[in-house]
Structure 1
């Protein structure tokens, strides 16, 4: 696992969104003061992958992941395993009770061709497929990295304060880790596969032996019997061949005789069906009579058509009936409108008189109103104080003194003043009524005037129209003549239609008889065509009756000749059938003597097929015996091969089933790791310490400062323990790919959290050189967490971590 991009938001002490770019880094250091949040960056990588962090103590505890007072947070990691790229996202949420839970967890395979320099959001936006979600994400990460969480924190991430876990682990715990790292489980898979292969091979051997036992007639004697039978049938086929040729010749003679007899029978039947249609003798006379009658009816129809045409021409000469009818109606309308105009003029004069009277009434009402208003003014003048007091309003200024009115003065209401005001109102009402009446009479007068104008205009238009027809009596006379001419034209049309119908009936009758004559002629042709193969002579088609008579005469003569041919064909057929039956009997005897069942139809082809089929079956039987003998030999060889394969698989399973195989394998791997770690520790300790294994695979240390004394690694001091643990971690990182039994499982990164402060300057320099050598190999990423300046200054990429009131912050700095 090699990280490319890390994103934190409200994770631990990192409140603000923070992105860490690892894509071009092989060796980096996280530096900063104690408590700044350096280890939180490593925690975020571990949390993104496994959903937990070693420092929390409880793998199921996620509450410490979310920054205090934050309601939600997020960690995203883009990383590579081998040549594949993956993206993982874990989102956190705090509910109303303060409980923190994982809201989302998703693992996607990403497009490896995307530029890794892009930010996390852009890289996560190029998923190839989703590998896992929710609770299944961690298991899929373990499958990809090949490491469970507890081993990941011993081989890849070495957390602060837990460097010595692998060093101090019991042999069984170390073996459990090595089995997973080295993919030693593949040997158990091989053993299980060997057991399966043994079962398959044994089953295949048994199946081959069962098939061998089921084979019958697979010996030399069976092959000899099959060969003799084939020879017998070959001889029989040669003897039958001559009879088959004679039978085919006799079949040909029978078929020819049957054909002659069938032809004679067919000719007799065909000749017997020839008969003259019963109406042929009278057809010619009937056609002539129908043709004459049709001509007469056609001539009469033409005469009636000309009479109809003349009647309509005479009708057209009398003039346009519609125009004359309209002219007569115009005379009637003129008389009616003249009376209406006189009435309208009288009404208009009356309306004008009504308007004049209404105007007089309005003037009188206006005069009475003026008189009443003058009287009212006189009364008001006489009672001015009382009238003014009535008009005062409390709060408004007085029109006399201009002071606001506090209380209206109390003056008695004069009765004369009220009466005068009522009189004015009454006169106003009379005036309004008179004016309404005037408006009504004026409207009536306007309408009457308009009616006179309209009627006058219509009469003038009718007078212009009647100039061409000033006499109404003459119009009525012309219209009567047109009515009489129309009646005559309709009668002529009816007679013409009747004549045309009679002509059509006569023509249809003639056509029907003509079609009957044509049908009789076609039947003559059709009958003769069927008789042409029998030798029918040509006929004269111009005389239908004579043609039919000549054809019937020939028919009678041909019938006599065909009856004689039929008797001769019957005699030849009987002779050929008798000879064929005798030959079939001889062939039947040959087949039965040869052990064959004769076919029901003793036809040459059926007999030939029966003999050929029997011979082919004998050949097949012989080949079958030979094939079974070959199969028996092959099955015997295959059974032996499968038995041998089963034995090999059995031996392999026994070897791998040994209880100490896994322990032996892990012990060998541990020896390699301890040997490599010992070399590193010797350099780190300036030759003081080496690591060795005791008989129970417990790691011990040789202390050359104590005369090479061997002692338990737990007796090492804190700094010495860190050196030994670091040596083992580096050995694991370098050696695990070469030791893996399955596909090479390379630890592509290692992260070391603190511990360097316990080293003296010389040892620190050796550690720094060792880490630099590991990083420059180019096949893994090395990351360290330290606050030791001397070590941090030697690392090419530094991530400076600081912390203020708003949380932790990270800045990348290059050496």
Structure 2
């Protein structure tokens, strides 16, 4: 597993979306203050792959993944493994009770052609196929990396405080890891494959023996019999070839006579089939009669059309019927309007008299009202105090002294005062009624005047219209003449239309007869064309009936002559057939004598094919016998080979079935790893320490400072333990690809989290040199987390981690 791009969003101390680019890095260091988030970057890689982090203690715990103030987060990783590119995304969400769960997990295979320098979105978007989702992502990750989570954190990611896990592990646990790393389970597959191979080989032996038994008849005697049969049939084919030419000649003569007889009979049939169409004898008379009738009806149509044109001219000379009708209607309207004007004038005079009377009555009523008002005013003047006291109200100012009225004075009004007021009111009411009557008479007068004006205007229009045609009686006589002319025109048009229809029908009938004549002529030409090869004479095409008669006469004479020739051909054909059948029967007897099926029908080509086919089949039978003998020999060789394969597979399965094989394999691999780690440890410890295995494959350390004493690795100090653990980790990373069966595993990365602070400067320099050498090949990524400046300065790529109130941040720097 080699990471290319890491994306963090609200993961641990990384709140803002952060992308870490590893695509061009082989050796890097994560540096920064304590608590800045260096280990969180390594945790994010582990979480993306397996959904958990070693520092959390519990593999099922995810609550520490999300930033404390965040409600959701995401981790995405693009990595390569086994030559393929993959993308994995895990999304986190905080529930209502504060519980953090994985909302989504997805693992995809990505397109390796996409530039790894692109952003995380472009890389994750180049999906080739989906591999797993949800809870299945971790299992698929284990399949891709070849490591369970617990072994991944011992071989690839060595977290803080966990460096010594592999060093201190029990032999059984260490063996489980080696089995995964070395693909030791492949030997179980080899053992099963060997058993399957043995089974298949023995089945192949049994099958080959069965096939060999079916070939028991393919012996030397069978081959000699097949050779004799081939020789007999080749001799038969030669005799058939020698005699077939005569049969072909006879067969050709029969074919020629059959063709000649068929042509003679066809000619007789064609001559006998000629017949004159039934309509030809009367067609000429029908054409003449149709032409005469068409000419007569065409003349009748012309005469009727002339009568139609004359009627149209007579009608047009009488004038415009619509204009004359309007003029007559104007005379009628003029009389009606004159009568209505007289009546309207009488009504107008009455309306004027009513208006004058109503106006006089209004003037009189107005005079009475004015007199009553003057009488009322005189009464008020005579009784002013009583009138004023009647209008005073308590609290209002007095119009005389301007003081508020405290109490109304007691001045009773005289009876004459009330009587005068009532008289004024009556006069006013009477004046109003008289005024309304006057307005009504004025309205009626205006309407009468308007009506008279309208009638006079209409009368003026009618007088202008009748000036063109002042005589109404003359107008009526002209309109009557127009109606009679229209009736005559309709009759003339109907007669002309009927004449044109009759003429057109006659023309169509004449056309049909001409078409029949043309068709009869074409039929005559077609019949004669078929008879031209028989010697048909030329015909007179101007007289259709005579031409048909001449052709029929010739057909009758020619048919008699050709009937005699056909009889002669039939006699010759019978003799040729008898001669041909005798020759054919002789050849068929040759075939039957040699056991060759006689073809049906037995024509020359079929007889030749039958002889050749029999010969070819006999040669094929001979070749099959020889092939079966060769096949039997091959089967005997296959049986020998399969028996040897079965024995080899059986022996291999027996050897791999031993119970200590897996322990032996892991022990050998562990010995190689410890030897490689010892060499590194000697360099790191300046020759003081060396790792060895005891009889139970427990790792021990030889301390040369103590006279080469062997002791348990748990007795090492913290710095010494780090050196030994680092040596083992580097040996695992460096050696496992070569140890694995078929190179099935390859630890493409190793990440070391802290521990370098326990080393002295000399050892630190040795560690730095070792790490540089490990990453120098370019096929393995090495990443470390350290606070030691001397080590960090030697690493070519640094990821500087800082942290502020907004969270952690990463900056990539290259030296």
Structure 1 counterpart SS, 2:695: coil
Say whether 1:150 aligns with 2:150.
yes
- The residue aligned with 1:464 is 464
- Residue of structure 1 equivalent to 2:699: 699
Aligned to 1:42: 42
Write the distance in 2 (CA, Å) between the matches of 1:423 and 1:168. 140
Aligned equivalent of 1:134: 134
Distance 1:194 1:445 in 2: 137
Q: Which residue of 2 is the match for residue 683 of structure 1?
A: 683
With over 3 angstroms needed to count, the CA separation of the structure-2 counterparts of 1:673 and 1:475, relative to structure 1, is: same
Identify the residue that residue 562 of structure 1 maps to in structure 2. Answer: 562
Alpha-carbon distance in 2 for matches of 1:75, 1:253? 99
Q: State the secondary structure of the residue aligned to 1:742.
A: helix
Query: What is the aligned partner in structure 2 of residue 605 from structure 1?
Result: 605
Displacement of 1:339 after TM fit? 3.3
Question: 5 Å matches for 1:514-525?
Answer: 524-525=524-525
**Alignment correspondent of 1:631:** 631
2:361, 2:198 → 1: CA distance?
A: 140
What aligned pairs does 1:355-754 form with structure 2 within 5 A after superposition?
Answer: 382=386, 387=391, 389=393, 449-500=449-500, 503=503, 524-525=524-525, 527-544=527-544, 546-743=546-743, 745-754=745-754
Is 1:57 paired with 2:35? no
Deviation per residue, 1:624-652 (Å, 9 max, x gap): 33333343344444444444444444444
What's the CA shift for 1:470? 1.9
Q: Evaluate the alpha carbon distance shift between residue 530 and residue 684 of structure 1 in structure 2; reply closer, same or farther with a 3 A threshold.
A: closer
Task: Give the TM-score taking structure 2 as reference length.
Answer: 0.83
Per the alignment, do residues 312 and 171 of structure 1 end up closer, same or farther by CA in structure 2, a change over 3 Å counting? same
For residues 299-318 of structure 1, what are the structure 2 equivalents within 5 Å? 299-318=299-318
Question: Is the 1:693–1:700 contact (alpha carbons within 8 Å) kept by the matching residues of 2?
Answer: yes
2:168 — aligned with what?
Answer: 168
Q: 1:773 to 1:398 in 2, by over 3 A?
A: farther
* Distance (Å, rounded) in 2 between the aligned partners of 1:803 and 1:401: 101
Q: Output the CA distance in 1 between the equivalents of 2:470 and 2:727.
A: 144
- Cα deviation, 1:471-527, whole Å, max 9, x if unaligned, reads 222222222333333344444444445555555566566666666666665555555
Give the match for residue 90 of structure 1. 90
Per mean C-alpha deviation after superposition, the further-off stretch among 449-458 and 375-384 is: 375-384
Distance 1:603 1:390, change over 3 A: farther
Residue 805 of structure 1, CA deviation: 8.1
Note if contact 1:46-1:53 (Cα within 8 Å) is conserved in structure 2. yes
Pairwise CA distance, 1:175: 1.6
Report how far residue 148 of structure 1 moved: 1.4
Separation in 2, partners of 1:510, 1:15: 107
Return closer, same or farther for 1:368/1:638 CA change in 2, 3 Å cut-off. farther
Query: Aligned pair in 2 of structure 1 residues 212, 300: CA closer, same or farther (>3 Å)?
Result: same
Q: Distance in 2 between matches of 1:267 and 1:797?
A: 109
How far apart in 2 are the matches of 1:52 and 1:506?
110
Once the 2 structures are TM-superposed, how far is the Cα of residue 668 of structure 1 from its aligned partner?
2.4
Q: How far apart are residue 693 of structure 1 and its match?
A: 1.0
Provide the residue aligned with 1:27 in structure 2. 28
Contact 2:30 2:38 in 1 (8 A): no
Shift of 1:729: 1.9
Write the mapping of 1:94-105 to structure 2, written as runs, cut at 5 A: 94-105=94-105
In the TM superposition, residue 575 of structure 1 has moved relative to its aligned partner by 2.7
Q: How far apart, in 2, do the equivalents of 1:409 and 1:215 lie?
A: 161
Q: CA 1:489–1:44 in structure 2 vs 1: closer, same or farther (change >3 Å)?
A: closer
Return the offset for 1:799. Answer: 6.1
Structure 1: where are the runs of 5+ without partners?
A: none
Contact 1:389 1:411 in 2 (8 A): no
C-alpha displacement of 1:711: 1.7
What does the per-residue CA deviation read over 1:706-746, in whole Å, with 9 as the maximum and x for residues that have no partner? 22111222233333323322222232233333333334744
Aligned to 1:222: 222
Give the 3-state SS of the residue equivalent to 1:697 in structure 2. Answer: coil
Whole-Å separation in 1 of the counterparts to 2:425 and 2:24: 109
- 1:323 corresponds in structure 2 to 323
- More deviation, 601-610/412-421: 412-421
How many angstroms does 1:429 deviate by? 8.8
Q: CA deviation at 1:699?
A: 0.7
Distance in 1 (alpha carbons) for counterparts of 2:111 and 2:511:
93
When structure 1 is superposed on structure 2, of 751-760 and 710-719 the one drifting more is 751-760
Alpha-carbon distance in 2 for matches of 1:369, 1:642: 155
3-state SS of the aligned residue for 1:700? strand
Change (3 A) 1:464 1:752: same
Please give the per-residue CA displacement for 1:534-562, whole angstroms capped at 9, x wherever unaligned: 43434444455554554454444334433
Q: CA deviation at 1:105?
A: 2.1
Q: Which range moves more in the overlay, 240-249 or 588-597?
A: 240-249
Figure out how many residues of one structure are paired with residues of the other and give that number: 808
Query: In structure 2, what is the Cα distance between the partners aligned to 1:443 and 1:483?
Result: 50
SS at match of 2:742: coil
Kindly provide the CA deviation profile for residues 125-147 of structure 1, in whole angstroms up to 9, marking residues without a partner as x: 55555443221222232233332
Question: What displacement does 1:62 show?
Answer: 1.8
Query: SS in structure 1 opposite 2:64?
Result: helix
Residues 457 and 681 of structure 1: CA distance in aligned 2, closer, same or farther (over 3 Å): same
Distance 1:589 1:714, change over 3 A: same
1:149 CA displacement: 0.8
CA contact (8 A) 2:184 2:740 kept: yes
Q: 1:808 to 1:519 in 2, by over 3 A?
A: closer
8 A Cα contact 2:591 2:597, kept in partner: yes
Q: Which moved more, 1:426-435 or 1:6-15?
A: 426-435
- The Cα shift of 1:151 comes to 0.8
Q: Is the 8 A contact 2:31 2:801 kept in 1?
A: yes
- Deviations 1:263-313 (CA, angstroms, capped at 9, x unpaired): 444444444445556676665556555544554444444334333333333
C-alpha distance in 2 between matches for 1:55 and 1:274: 116
Following the alignment from structure 1 to structure 2, what is the Cα–Cα distance between the partners of residues 281 and 78?
104
For residues 130-171 of structure 1, the C-alpha deviation after alignment (integer angstroms, 9 at most, x for no partner) is 443221222232233332110111122222332221111122
On the 8 A contact 1:31/1:785 being kept in 2, the answer is no
Change (3 A) 1:558 1:350: same
Instruction: Report the Cα distance in structure 2 between the residues aligned to 1:96 and 1:431, rounded to whole angstroms.
Output: 95
* Residues in 2 aligned to 1:362 and 1:20: alpha-carbon distance in whole angstroms: 114
1-structure distance, mates of 2:489, 2:584: 97
Counterparts of 2:673 and 2:278 in 1: how far apart (Å)? 127
The TM-score normalised by the length of structure 1 is 0.83
CA distance, structure 1, for counterparts of residue 712 and residue 597 of structure 2: 100
Q: How does 1:238-253 map to 2 (within 5 A)?
A: 238-241=238-241, 243-253=243-253
Q: Closer, same or farther in 2 for the Cα pair 1:792/1:257, shift >3 Å? A: closer
| 1:25-56 deviations in Å (ceiling 9; x for gaps) | 623244434x6655444333322321112233
Matched ranges for 1:729-808 at <5 A: 729-743=729-743, 745-756=745-756, 758-759=758-759, 763=763, 766-767=766-767, 770-771=770-771, 774=774, 779-786=779-786
> Relative to 1, partners in 2 of residues 1:337 and 1:648: Cα closer, same or farther, differing over 3 Å?
farther
1:64 is paired with a residue of what secondary structure? coil
Contact conserved, 2:394 with 2:408, CA < 8 A, in 1?
A: no
Determine the structure 1 residue equivalent to 2:213.
213
Task: Measure the CA separation in 2 of the matches of 1:373 and 1:224.
Answer: 172
Cα distance in 2 between the residues matched to 1:116 and 1:248? 84
